[in-house]
């Protein structure tokens, strides 16, 4: 129960940070901090806790979206399973580069999944998704990943100790 509360708290705090960034930076692109958190939980605590974090993150994002409810949740769940699969091939414990590569690949998978599901409801051409969503989101998320991992690790060490 304590672990669940910690996950909920971390997801909520990350979501608030994303909202504040959007509020303050307005027209700029923002990194996907929640996907970094999901990858972090997957590496730190395994698929089960990562799944909980993914579902919560998806529900939070779906609440603010005007699109059909559940799109983000579904994309996050797929991202969790994708992380579990990819970490077997990519992740090397203690190597930061492997973590960043994992975030890079999982973010691509997450954006692609979201785009594919959204095609059921809205038609979005892949070139514009690639140029205006995939490249900025993947780039920024990968750039911010080392700092975010460090911060999440510090939080986890204090909260899970």
Partner 1 sequence: MAYLRFPLILPEDISNQHFLLNSRVSKYHKKTLIYGLITLSVVVLFFLPARMVSPLKFNFISWTSLPVRIISFPLLELKKVLLYHRTYAEYVKLQKDYNTLKARLIGMEEVIRENNRLEKLLKFKRSLVYSSVGANVVGRDPSNWNETVIIDKGSQDDVDVGMPAVNAQGVVGKVAEVSDRKSKVILLTDPGFSTAGLVKRSREIGLVSGTLQGLCRMRYLSANADVKVGDQVITSKLSSSFPEGLFVGEVIAVEYKKNGLSLDCIIQPAVPLSQLEEVLIIRTR
Nearer to partner 1, 121 or 160 (CB): 121
Residue with tokens 């690639």: 130
Q: State which of residues 5, 9, 69, 96 lies at the interface with partner 1 (CB under 8 A).
A: 69
CB-count burial class (<10 Å; 0-12, 13-18, 19+) for 45? middle
Nearer to partner 1, 17 or 98 (CB): 17
DSSP character string of 28-59: S----HHHHHHHHHHHHH-HHHHHHHHHHHHH
The angle formed by the CA atoms of residues 81, 132 and 90, to the nearest 5 degrees, is 30
Q: Per CB under 8 A, does 126 bind partner 1?
A: no
Please identify, among the stretches 37-45, 64-72, 98-106, 151-159, the one whose residues bind partner 1 according to the rule CB under 8 A: 64-72
Contact indicator for 37, 153 with CB cutoff of 8 Å: no
Please identify, among the stretches 38-46, 67-75, 95-103, 144-152, the one whose residues bind partner 1 according to the rule CB under 8 A: 67-75
Give the residues lining the site for partner 1 (CB under 8 A): 12, 15-16, 18-24, 26-27, 29-30, 51, 55, 58-74, 77-78, 81, 114, 117-118, 120-122, 124, 128-129, 132-133, 136-137
């Amino acid at each position: 129960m304590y672990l669940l509360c910690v996950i909920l708290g971390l997801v909520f705090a990350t979501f608030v940070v994303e909202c504040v960034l959007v509020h303050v930076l307005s027209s700029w692109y923002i990194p996907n901090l929640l996907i970094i958190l999901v990858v972090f939980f997957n590496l730190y605590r395994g698929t089960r806790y990562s799944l909980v974090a993914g579902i919560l993150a998806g529900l939070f994002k779906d609440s603010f979206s005007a699109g059909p409810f559940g799109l983000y949740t579904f994309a996050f769940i797929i991202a969790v399973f994708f992380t579990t699969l990819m970490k077997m091939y990519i992740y090397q414990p203690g190597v930061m580069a492997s973590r960043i590569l994992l975030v890079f690949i999982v973010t691509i998978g997450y954006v692609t999944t979201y785009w594919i599901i959204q095609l059921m409801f809205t038609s979005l051409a892949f070139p514009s998704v690639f140029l205006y969503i995939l490249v900025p989101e993947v780039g920024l998320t990968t750039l911010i990943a080392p700092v975010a991992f460090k911060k999440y690790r510090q939080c986890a060490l204090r909260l899970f100790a």
